[in-house]
């Protein structure tokens, strides 16, 4: 095939759906698919990295990493001075993806959703929903959420709410409003990549604290770093799935209050608790805390509608609304009204109950499979809810290096590197289990175990000759 | 009333719906309403500016400007060293607002909208719309819009589309991707305040060119300023309503192409042409132009759904999608699918036809009333479409200073200052006519004329003594 055709095909990549999927992975997947569909065949030359980097407008490193990935999965080989060539076909397999922290779409209650939409359409306000609205959000939804938060003790009378386009926008607005370039922000390490990206791209210094002893380190970190903002996810953190106990929450709230540091408390998963007792937010534990609470309908209901919210003192919320005005005016009002109807009608509570039942089965399947399948040298967190757990491979094993083999066996996950701030997490990986059925979770973890055991075997084999040599 | 109560009430302001409404105006309106509702009464002391500035988290200047506005409308008076006090009641009047560039909600075709929603709900993809989607937008909508743009000659095969949350987000993404802090951007002067705010807040140097001879000045401006981006609105520009003729478009496209400068062509209003012949976009006139086209469903259909798009070379669109990923992941997919259905079904074209008919009546009412009512010393643009026209008052008359009196008479508009870059526009104002019925437009312009004539009279009276003095 002439190279111009190959670049034409490779060029047509569309950036894809999944949240944390890095660009190099998307490019590699695209090329993998071209090979699997026989649009690229054995012996075809891939576009030169320089050429492709220019035509895609991506960094050349990104292209090289993608090619490296394809090479390590055996799909592509490089010939020095000549370029990269297609080697052959990869084994086709129905992929079980642990890569995205999202709900199962087959659990979406479509009848209830449809009823909510129809009720909104029949409502008196339908017409005004289509007109230009308020930067703070659809007023009846704001009132409803604020009232609910007051009843549960998370909001005070003087608090206010800003409806955001999901939690991702809330993070972006926080950065733009309270953490300018050059400022410092403290977060958990490892942390959600969307958080890391927002602050790093804006030139903010991001300091990571290990979740294992947050309260032991937070006071000193605040004193040393004078952060503009501290971001914490006390319940079922992404990626670790860990939850802070009540004593730890109290200790953290006290430290934050004493230093009068602004806290952004990310609370997306606490509605998805499958075992154990519910815990209060830091915000509810310490009423004088200077804090903002980030919540969303994306985990417990429908991520595609992009509705989240930010609750806090009206002064800070007003500043965030001012920023938001110039970012995109406001969120889609129709979806805000539909979610309000879905919640008000009690349908959200019913759906949440079903989500918790399904989540418990998924979590049990994941933990049982991890116990049963994985080598004893692999450690994993045991969350009581949420969507993610965190696997730590034996020392020296690299989760990203295992990924090509994992994908050959039809599984996918995000390696630890994407979540790491200061502490290296190359030997860790995130398993997002909540989007999968229990049978697939079991099968996927069995395959993952196979990948890890193969690697342990390989290392054992390689270790012996070294040992022999050392003895001689 | 004790001052703590007054601050409690003033404090409860909610930032409001209208797009370009500045904060001080919102605060003044809120206090005006408190006075009109008799929640604040004659003799009540307003909160001290320092105190209110702290509790609202706003600049003290903002508070002072709001108080000044209330003072000039006679609702409030200040006593040196004591503070500001409520004077009395303003004349109540049903306000005719020319302040927002938006469609009439009573023209929204609710039956057609409902049918589109129901068809989406019945479709096979409904469930997947609620799942996490793609940063670039809902793929079928992207394909539809791209195909449409290709048919009209505005897009080439290698182009791509990013769905944005309205044109405001497109501007924000352009700034973040192509015009970093410290860079220079060229735009029209006067210009849409949302554009000015995005770039100025980000620390971009914004150079304004008068629309009257753009092609005469653009080449030199590009050579001198080396802009990262040029933003132009060739059809029915906001705020002036002006349209560039085809020769001017060709000249501008040539200059931009020769200098290989990136153009963002804002094309929100061209679908709302009430008279005259449609004109091609710069992008269609000059295929080799390095340009991005910004369009939206907000003017021609439903602003509340926040769906716009950005069309351009796939390389630049890909960079914008990368930025967008970390801003808010993607736009609401349900509304994207509904708008696609609304367009595909032919309902959008029908609605657009009705919008054009109604717009023509509104424009005729506005131009006829301006001709008939306004003093000859007032000039105004004569747009052939869109939503806005631009009034220039007699030299030395300040549009903002007239606003308190205008509001007493029950009309509202945005003074020129909000649209000005380098050239002062204090003596100008924007009349957004498309959101109003013809009868209200006529009545509103009659009232505006009264305000201007009163001011001319006042100036004539004041001028005479000066003249007398000069003679003596």
Torsion A29-A34-A36-A40 (CA) sign: negative
Of A333-337, B39-43, B395-399, B450-454, the one with minimum mean pLDDT is: B39-43
Chain A residues within 8 A of B316 when measuring between CB atoms = 57
* Closest by Cβ to A335, choosing from B128, B133, B332: B332
Phi, psi dihedral angles at B346 (to 5 degrees): 85, -5
CA A434 to chain centre: 12
Could you identify the residue written with the tokens 């079922």? A236
Does residue B190 have a cis peptide bond before it, meaning omega lies within 30 degrees of 0?
Answer: yes
Does residue B239 have a cis peptide bond before it, meaning omega lies within 30 degrees of 0?
Answer: yes
pLDDT (0 to 100) of residue B71? 73
- Give A355 to chain B, closest Cα distance, Å: 15
pLDDT (0 to 100) of residue A338? 98
Using alpha carbons, select from B279, B273, B281, B277 the residue that is nearest to residue B232.
Answer: B281
pLDDT (0 to 100) of residue B429? 98
Strands B388-392 and B428-432: antiparallel
Q: What mean pLDDT comes out for the span B416-428?
A: 96
What is the rounded average pLDDT for all residues in chain B?
91
Q: How many whole angstroms separate alpha carbon B20 and alpha carbon B18? A: 6
Angle at A309 between CA A306 and CA A312, to 5 degrees: 165
Q: Are B90 and B36 in contact (CB under 8 A)?
A: yes
Q: Which of A268, A306, A315, A337 to mutate to test the interface with B (most CBs of B within 10 A)?
A: A306
CB-based contact A57 B129, cutoff 8 Å: no
Q: How many whole angstroms separate alpha carbon B139 and alpha carbon B13? A: 41
- CB-based contact, A338 to chain B, within 8 Å: yes
Q: Would you list the DSSP string of A288-319?
A: T--EEEEEESTTTS-GGG--EEEEEEHHHHHH
Of chain A residues 169-228, which have a CB less than 8 A from chain B? 169, 172, 194, 197-198, 201
Question: How many CA within 13 A on the CB side of residue B84?
Answer: 25
Q: Which of A26, A132, A182, A321 to mutate to test the interface with B (most CBs of B within 10 A)?
A: A132
Q: Are A162 and A310 in contact (CB under 8 A)?
A: yes
* Closest by Cβ to B335, choosing from A197, A302, A334: A334
**What SS3 state is found at A16?**
coil
What is the four-CA torsion angle of B232, B236, B241, B243, rounded to 10 degrees?
Answer: 70
Q: Are A84 and A76 in contact (CB under 8 A)?
A: yes
- CB-based contact, B135 to chain A, within 8 Å: yes
Could you identify the residue written with the tokens 């791509």? B160
CB-based contact A328 B57, cutoff 8 Å: no
Query: What pTM was computed for the model?
Result: 0.81
Q: How many whole angstroms separate alpha carbon A353 and alpha carbon A346? A: 11
Using alpha carbons, select from B226, B185, B222 the residue that is nearest to residue B207.
Answer: B185
**What SS3 state is found at A228?**
coil
Burial class (CB in 10 A: 0-12, 13-18, 19+), A56: buried
Residue of A nearest to B55 (CA): A315
Please give the helix or strand (H or E) that residue A266 lies within, else none: strand A263-266
Q: How many whole angstroms separate alpha carbon B68 and alpha carbon B224? A: 40
pLDDT (0 to 100) of residue A464? 58
B287 has a pLDDT exceeding 50 = yes
Chain B residues within 8 A of A134 when measuring between CB atoms = 14-17
Q: Which of B8, B15, B63, B157 to mutate to test the interface with A (most CBs of A within 10 A)?
A: B15
B212 has a pLDDT exceeding 80 = yes
- Give A187 to chain B, closest Cα distance, Å: 17
CB atoms within 10 A of CB A246: 12
CB-based contact A19 B172, cutoff 8 Å: no
Contacts of the segment A118-121: beta carbons below 8 A, 24+ positions apart: A118/B118, A119/A341, A119/A345, A120/A334, A120/A337, A120/A338, A120/A341, A121/B113, A121/B114, A121/B117
Could you identify the residue written with the tokens 């009641």? B89
pLDDT (0 to 100) of residue B92? 45
pLDDT (0 to 100) of residue A88? 66
Chain B residues within 8 A of A322 when measuring between CB atoms = 15, 23
What is the four-CA torsion angle of A318, A323, A328, A329, rounded to 10 degrees?
Answer: 40
Q: Are A236 and A384 in contact (CB under 8 A)?
A: yes
Which strands form B291-296's sheet, in the order they lie side by side?
Answer: B159-164, B308-313, B291-296, B263-266, B229-232, B184-188, B205-209
Residues of A455-469 as b/e, b for ≥16 C-beta within 10 angstroms?
Answer: bbeeeeeeeeeeeee
Burial class (CB in 10 A: 0-12, 13-18, 19+), B122: exposed
- CB-based contact, A319 to chain B, within 8 Å: yes
Question: How many CA within 13 A on the CB side of residue A49?
Answer: 17
Torsion B212-B214-B217-B221 (CA) sign: positive
* Closest by Cβ to B108, choosing from A15, A130, A135: A130
Residues of A91-108 as b/e, b for ≥16 C-beta within 10 angstroms?
Answer: eeeeebbbbbbbbebebb
More confidently predicted of B203 and A48: B203
Chain A residues within 8 A of B333 when measuring between CB atoms = 304-305
pLDDT tens across B129-183, in order? 999 999 999 999 999 999 999 999 999 989 999 999 999 999 999 999 999 999 9
- Give B114 to chain A, closest Cα distance, Å: 7
B1 has a pLDDT exceeding 60 = no
SS (H, E, C) chain B: CCHHHHHHHHHCCCCCCCCCCCHHHHHHHHHHHHHHCCCCCCCCECCCHHHHHHHHCCCHHHHHHHHHHHHHCCCEEEECCCEEEECCCCCCCCCEECCCCCCCHHHCCHHHHHHHHHHHHHCCCHHHHCCCCCCCCCHHHHHHHHHHHHHCCCCCCCEEEEEECHHHHHHHHHHHHHCCCCCEEEEECCCCHHHHHHHHHCCCEEEEECHHHHHHHHHHHHHHHCCCEEEECCCCCCCCCCCCCHHHHHHHHHHHHHHCCCEEEECCCCCCECCCCCCCCHHHHCCCCCEEEEEECCCCCCHHHCCEEEEEEHHHHHHHHHHHHHHHCCCCHHHHHHHHHHHHCCHHHHHHHHHHHHHHHHHHHHHHHHHHHCCCCCEECCCCECCEEEEECCCCCCHHHHHHHHHHCCEECEEHHHHCCCCCCCCEEEEECCCCCHHHHHHHHHHHHHHHHHHHHHHHHHHHHHHHHHHC
Using alpha carbons, select from B94, B17, B255 the residue that is nearest to residue A330.
Answer: B17
Of chain B residues 282-301, which have a CB less than 8 A from chain A? 298
Chain B residues within 8 A of A14 when measuring between CB atoms = 134, 136, 139
- Give B127 to chain A, closest Cα distance, Å: 7
Could you identify the residue written with the tokens 């802090």? B181
* Closest by Cβ to B332, choosing from A102, A139, A332: A332
Please give the helix or strand (H or E) that residue A10 lies within, else none: helix A3-11
Chain B residues within 8 A of A118 when measuring between CB atoms = 118
pLDDT (0 to 100) of residue A470? 46
CB-based contact B335 A330, cutoff 8 Å: no
Q: Which of A304, A313, A339 to mutate to test the interface with B (most CBs of B within 10 A)?
A: A304
Task: Give Cβ neighbours of residue B114 (< 8 Å, ≥ 6 apart).
Answer: A121
Torsion B34-B35-B39-B40 (CA) sign: positive
pLDDT (0 to 100) of residue B129? 97
- Give B462 to chain A, closest Cα distance, Å: 41
Count chain A–chain B contacts defined by CB atoms under 8 A. Answer: 201
pLDDT (0 to 100) of residue B268? 97
Q: Are A349 and B320 in contact (CB under 8 A)?
A: no
Of chain A residues 43-62, which have a CB less than 8 A from chain B? 55-58
Using alpha carbons, select from B451, B442, B437 the residue that is nearest to residue B378.
Answer: B451
Q: How many whole angstroms separate alpha carbon B14 and alpha carbon B30? A: 9
- Give A248 to chain B, closest Cα distance, Å: 31
Tokens at A95, concatenated: 């992929």
pLDDT by 10-residue block (mean), chain A, 472 residues: 63 60 75 81 86 82 77 72 74 79 97 98 95 96 97 93 98 98 98 97 97 95 98 98 97 97 98 97 94 97 97 97 96 97 98 98 98 97 98 96 96 97 96 97 97 95 59 46
Tokens at B298, concatenated: 């907000």
- CB-based contact, B89 to chain A, within 8 Å: no
Q: Which of B304, B333, B351 to mutate to test the interface with A (most CBs of A within 10 A)?
A: B304
Task: Give Cβ neighbours of residue B82 (< 8 Å, ≥ 6 apart).
Answer: B45
Residue of B nearest to A171 (CA): B327
Q: Are A306 and A332 in contact (CB under 8 A)?
A: yes
B226 has a pLDDT exceeding 60 = yes
CB-based contact A198 B165, cutoff 8 Å: no
Q: Which of A203, A290, A326 to mutate to test the interface with B (most CBs of B within 10 A)?
A: A326
Q: Are A19 and A102 in contact (CB under 8 A)?
A: yes
pLDDT (0 to 100) of residue A73? 63
pLDDT band at B205 (very low <50, low <70, confident <90, very high): very high
Q: How many whole angstroms separate alpha carbon B187 and alpha carbon B195? A: 9
- CB-based contact, B303 to chain A, within 8 Å: yes
- Give A86 to chain B, closest Cα distance, Å: 25
Chain A residues within 8 A of B14 when measuring between CB atoms = 134, 136, 139
**What SS3 state is found at A74?**
coil
B252 has a pLDDT exceeding 80 = yes
**What SS3 state is found at A96?**
strand
Q: How many whole angstroms separate alpha carbon A116 and alpha carbon A214? A: 42
Angle at B181 between CA B176 and CA B185, to 5 degrees: 80
Q: How many whole angstroms separate alpha carbon B334 and alpha carbon A50? A: 39
pLDDT tens across B356-412, in order? 999 999 999 999 999 999 999 999 999 999 999 999 999 999 999 999 999 999 999
Q: Are B280 and B246 in contact (CB under 8 A)?
A: yes
Using alpha carbons, select from B454, B33, B406, B425 the residue that is nearest to residue B193.
Answer: B425
pLDDT tens across B102-116, in order? 999 999 999 999 999
Strands B159-164 and B96-97: unpaired
């Amino acid at each position: 095939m002439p190279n111009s055709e190959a670049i034409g095909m490779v060029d047509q990549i569309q950036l894809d759906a999944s949240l944390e999927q890095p660009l190099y992975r998307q490019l590699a997947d695209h090329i993998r698919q071209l090979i699997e569909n026989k649009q690229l065949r054995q012996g075809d030359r891939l576009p030169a990295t320089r050429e492709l980097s220019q035509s895609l407008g991506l960094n050349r490193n990104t292209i090289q990493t993608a090619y490296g990935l394809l090479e390590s999965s055996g799909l592509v080989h490089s010939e020095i001075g000549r370029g990269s060539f297609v080697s052959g076909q990869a084994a086709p397999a129905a992929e079980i993806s642990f890569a995205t922290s999202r709900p199962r779409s087959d659990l979406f209650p479509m009848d209830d959703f449809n009823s909510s939409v129809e009720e909104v359409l029949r409502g008196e306000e339908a017409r005004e929903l289509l007109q230009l609205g308020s930067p703070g959000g659809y007023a009846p939804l704001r009132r409803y959420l604020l009232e609910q938060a007051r009843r549960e003790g998370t909001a005070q009378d003087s608090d206010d709410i800003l409806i955001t386009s999901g939690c991702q926008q809330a993070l972006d607005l926080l950065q733009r409003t309270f953490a300018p370039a050059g400022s410092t922000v403290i977060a958990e390490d490892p942390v959600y990549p969307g958080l890391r990206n927002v602050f790093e791209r804006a030139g903010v210094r991001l300091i990571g604290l290990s979740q294992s002893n947050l309260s032991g380190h937070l006071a000193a970190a605040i004193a040393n770093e004078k952060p503009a903002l501290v971001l914490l996810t006390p319940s079922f953190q992404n990626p670790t799935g860990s939850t802070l106990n009540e004593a730890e929450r109290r200790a953290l709230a006290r430290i934050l209050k004493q230093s009068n540091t602004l806290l952004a408390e990310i609370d997306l998963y606490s509605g998805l608790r499958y075992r154990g007792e519910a815990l209060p937010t830091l915000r509810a534990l310490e009423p004088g805390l200077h804090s903002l609470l980030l919540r969303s309908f994306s985990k417990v209901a429908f991520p595609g509608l992009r509705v989240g919210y930010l609750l806090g003192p009206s002064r800070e919320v007003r500043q965030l609304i001012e920023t938001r005005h110039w970012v995109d005016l406001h969120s889609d009002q129709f979806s805000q009204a539909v979610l309000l109807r879905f919640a008000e009608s009690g349908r959200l509570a019913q759906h949440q109950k079903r989500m918790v039942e399904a989540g418990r089965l998924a979590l049990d399947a994941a933990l049982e499979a991890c116990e049963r399948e994985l080598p004893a040298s692999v450690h994993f967190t045991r969350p009581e809810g949420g969507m993610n757990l965190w696997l730590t491979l034996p020392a020296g094993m690299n989760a990203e290096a295992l990924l090509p083999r994992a994908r050959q066996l039809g599984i996918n996950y995000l390696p630890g590197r994407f979540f790491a701030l200061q502490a290296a997490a190359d030997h860790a990986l995130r398993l997002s289990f909540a989007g999968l059925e229990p049978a697939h979770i079991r099968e996927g973890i069995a395959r993952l175990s196979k990948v890890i055991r193969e690697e342990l075997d390989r290392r054992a084999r390689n270790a012996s000759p070294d040992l022999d040599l050392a003895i001689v």
